[in-house]
Amino acid sequence: MERAGDRSIAFLAVGLVVAILSGCGAASDRTSATSSPVTGGGRPTPSAPAGALGATTPSASPPAAAAFHPAVGTCFDVRKDQPKLSESIVPCDQRHDDEVYAVFDLDGAEYPGETALQQAADEGCRARFADFIGIPYEESVLELYSLLPTQAAWLDGDRRVSCVVWYPDDAVVGSLAGAGY
């Protein structure tokens, strides 16, 4: 069963745009979005504003960008093509693409590297899939991807992973909790 389709091409295009733009002096992203190796492709890279305006001493470093950690049940309409995933949040009773179904923290003091981090996130998200959807990932028509900390965020102590589910054939209305497909 093929799980990529036309959406993977769109994700790759978005990923290329994000990669190009991230090298153009933009503020460092604190959370990156990546697809499961099963689905391939990339997702918009979410980030949060660089922090509230406030007084800093001249020698102080600029405040770090806050990590974007959506809660379970948060829905996104990524078709809006917003530069930040946080700007694509919509109520789940409206037409949307993606929904956060689990959030967990990874262990470890040292940054494990992008490949190991992605593998750990994917394993954790797959293990939590059936609790939310009602059937194991391997039996589902739904896809998943994870929002995981960047290396900079990891070094700042962020270990949070958000697991996101989406239906590859169309947008949905309502939560996918208990969908069973």
Which residues partner with 98 through β-bridges? 76, 166
SS3 (DSSP) at 46: coil
Tokens of 114: 């992008």
Does residue 103 sit in helix, strand or coil?
strand
This prediction has a pTM of 0.66
Q: What dihedral do alpha carbons 10, 14, 15, 16 form, nearest 10°?
A: 100
Give the SS3 label for residue 181. Answer: coil
The one-digit pLDDT tens for each residue of the chain (181 residues) are 444 433 333 333 333 333 323 333 333 334 555 543 333 333 322 322 222 223 333 333 334 455 788 999 999 998 777 788 889 999 999 999 999 999 999 999 999 999 999 999 999 999 999 999 999 999 999 999 999 999 999 999 999 999 999 999 999 999 999 999 9
Please answer whether residues 97 and 79 qualify as being in contact, where contact means their C-beta atoms are separated by less than 8 angstroms.
Answer: yes
One-character DSSP codes across 34-86: EE-TTT-SB-------S-------TTSPPPPPPP--PPTT-EE-GGG--SSGG
